[in-house]
Structure 1
Amino acid sequence: MPQRAFASEEQPSLPKWLRSHIGDGEGQIAEVVLERARALYFRKLSEGRIKNPCYFAMDATRPHDLGGGQVGRRFYIICEASHSYQAISAGHGGGRNLEGIADFENGRQCAKNFGNAMDSKLTAGGNYITDRTKTSFKGYYQISSQRDEVLNRSFILFEGDGETANAKEREIGGHAAVSLKKVCLRKEAQSPHADRDGYVPFGKLTDYTAGRSDGCTSWSPADAQKIISMVSDDPTTLYIYPEAADIDAVAEAVAAGQSLSRARLYWNTSCLNDIGVPKFWAKETLEPILTQFEKDHPPPPQQPTPICKAR
């Protein structure tokens, strides 16, 4: 069916080729995640908000770091018009541990804690639309004894609604899981990125594809480049599972010793065994705690970036 025909009709039935990708296996997508992702996409398509032939989904209940350098594939790129389906890895929000006050930190493999509070560094499930992309200069890093490279990292801003309505306020979006560590300042007056004193940041490139994020969605550098090229000037939808109601329902079922399948609920089995009981931290509950914590524990004065030692 041509892409433009979708906009004038109700959500089309699930095509057979896409149904074959539903399941619990590696690279497959849970039925509830696909159903909600499709519903969001075709609704926004019919509203005229988007026209991109592809849409995204993420199942944050699935495992991420599988160990041995392997990462779980739980972010989905689906283009129904071209019969294209791809499952890739994506990081979840690491959360924080406010020692003695509140611990909502997540491990690398499975996410236990979710939320939409400012500064929580948690993933919030729900509806998103990709917004504009901005690219920032991060600094230089060495790729050989004779050559340095520039790190310009692109960031896709997300626009949310409902529980995710504060996505822009939280600066939630998607980007490559790379950063510069051990940064120092090096004299490079000829660089177009040099400050007024002729210095540029220089650091060690770190790829944390198998790690956690600050609440944003992070991809491998190669996957990020592909996704960014797909949505630049052509927004689309992203549905992230689970939402607060899903988390609360699963937590209640686990506490009552109920079978999730009988209760018609979904959570990835291996991660549920790992985390025990999931929890959603609502902004109304967590933000006052975070505000008080920051007030009681002000950060130390920011130290100036050191000057690099001579090579």
Structure 2
Amino acid sequence: MLLPSSLRAIGLATLICSGLAAPSLASKASQDIPRWLQQHIGTGTGQIAPIVLDRARALYLEKRNKGTVKNPCYFAMDATRPSTADDGSALPRFYVICENAKTFKAVSSGYGNGRKLANANFANGRQCARNFSNAEGSKLTAGGAYVTAESRTSFKGYYQGSAGAKPFLRTFLLFDGEGETSNARERAIGGHRAMFLRWQCRMERPQSKHADAEGFVPFGKLVDYTSGRSNGCTTWSKNATQEVLEIAEGNPTTLYIYPASQDINAVAKAVKKGTSLAQARLYWNDACLKAIGSPKFWPKRELQPIINAWRASLPKPPPLELPLCE
């Protein structure tokens, strides 16, 4: 897949100002950033933009001071960054920060792919996200403040392993949001490994605890989409998933996803006026802004009726009946 030429400049720095503050988040969080963490601030690959760190750190300190979280680590995500480099490798845009241990790690993460409907096209490309929303069923990322909650592990089916058929279990870390993201549970928004099982047939496995009443389990092929898009959830590679779950399992912490709706609307307004983001004291990844032209936030009140009407117009699907595995 050919990428826009602007994406070849991923490592080039873009002037960033953190003047656009999120409501209720204390901007003073940026004033006492430890020296070891300061070296990770920037717009290059593997770095975190100042405003993203400022928001994430302020949210974490706020929740820690209130006793909401006690975890020594916190998370952040910059959904304005591109998915992959020229060689196809996944680029980092999710951050794991543990200040007591003085560790900073940047890993890849998926963003919402959206939908293309007759009355509204809010689909995102594979490289850069243009559309964002908090509407249920939008399959889009909603930026803002979250706190991690409980995790749930579910059976997805069997796949062919090196030593025969194996069950695929995927753990889902739930997020609780605030404000525009308060419907995170309604939207089933959380984090999990960027992998799913594409069902192909029904395999007879009566001894399995996952078997249905007739003794069958779904069988399929594992699909890894680490460098791709998601259904609105935050998705990670195998190793990153394990690390995140180890940090957050039974010990809630904060996650700030950038951009929030006010950031998106402000950047869109500046682009329309022809104002440079540096002059307007705004931030968006430079390469992705060139690729998408202008971002768009679809508020729930606007998009939800469209999604609901589309769902209501769909014919009732026939019952899914997989063929028997040969």
Q: What is the TM-score normalised by the length of structure 1? A: 0.93
Q: 1:171 maps to what in 2? A: 188
Question: How far is 1:299 from its partner?
Answer: 4.6
- Three-state SS of the structure 2 residue aligned to 1:175 is strand
Report whether the alignment pairs 1:62 with 2:81: yes
Partner residue in 2 for 1:21: 40
Q: For residues 119-167 of structure 1, what are the alpha-carbon distances to aligned partners after superposition, in whole Å with 9 as ceiling and x for unaligned?
A: 00000000000000000011111123x4222211000000000010000
Unaligned runs of 5+ in 1: 1-9
Q: Where in structure 1 do 4 or more consecutive aligned residues deviate above 3 Å?
A: none
Task: Return the match for 1:97 from 105, 109, 116.
Answer: 116
Q: Secondary structure at the match of 2:186?
A: helix
Superposed displacement of residue 28, structure 1: 0.3
What is the total number of aligned residue pairs between the two structures? 298
Residues 50 and 234 of structure 1 are in contact (CA less than 8 Å); yes or no, is this contact kept in structure 2?
yes
**5+ unaligned residues in a row in structure 2: which ranges?**
1-27
Q: CA deviation at 1:301?
A: 2.0
Give secondary structure in 2 for the equivalent of 1:254: helix
For 1:278-297, list aligned pairs within 5 A.
Answer: 278-297=295-314
Q: For residues 193-272 of structure 1, what are the structure 2 equivalents within 5 Å? A: 193-272=210-289
Greater shift, 273-282 or 197-206, is seen at 197-206
Aligned equivalents of 1:298, 1:48: Cα separation in 2: 49
Kindly state the Cα deviation for residue 222 of structure 1 after the two structures are TM-superposed: 1.5
Alpha-carbon distance change, 194 to 67 in structure 1, aligned in 2, over 3 angstroms: farther
RMSD after superposition? 1.2
- 1:52 aligned to 2:71? yes
Aligned-pair identity in percent equals 54
Partner Cα distance (1:296, 1:35) in 2 = 44
Give the Å deviation of 1:67. Answer: 4.4
| Residue in structure 1 matched with residue 13 of structure 2 by the alignment | none
Distance 2:108 2:275 in 1: 30
By how many angstroms is 1:16 displaced?
Answer: 0.9
Q: Using the alignment, how far apart are the partners of 1:86 and 1:29 within structure 2? A: 10
2:199, 2:218 within 8 Å by CA — same for their partners in 1?
no
Q: Distance in 2 between matches of 1:255 and 1:290?
A: 27
Query: Equivalents in 1 of 2:88, 2:167: separation in Å?
Result: 26
The superposition leaves residues 45-98 of structure 1 with CA deviations (integer Å, 9 ceiling, x where unpaired) of 011111000000000000013343311100000001111000000000000000
Are residues 1:116 and 2:141 paired? no
Shift of 1:101: 1.1
For the Cα contact (< 8 Å) 2:114–2:140, is it kept in 1?
A: yes
Matched letter for residue 103 of structure 1: N
Alignment of 1:5-44 (within 5 A): 13-44=32-63
Q: Deviations over 1:255-293 (max 9, x none)?
A: 000010010000000000000010000000000011111
Is 2:321 aligned against 1:307? no
1:186–1:200 Cα contact (<8 Å) kept: yes
Question: Among 98, 106, 128, which residue is 1:87 paired with?
Answer: 106
Give deviations 1:1-34, integer Å, cap 9, x for gaps: xxxxxxxxx9571111111111110000000000
Deviates more, 1:191-200 or 1:290-299: 290-299
Residue number in structure 1 paired with 2:154? 136
Q: Is 1:140–1:149's contact at 8 Å kept on the other side of the alignment?
A: yes
State how far apart, in whole Å, the 2-side matches of 1:299 and 1:97 are: 20
> 2-side partners of 1:44 and 1:230: how far apart?
16
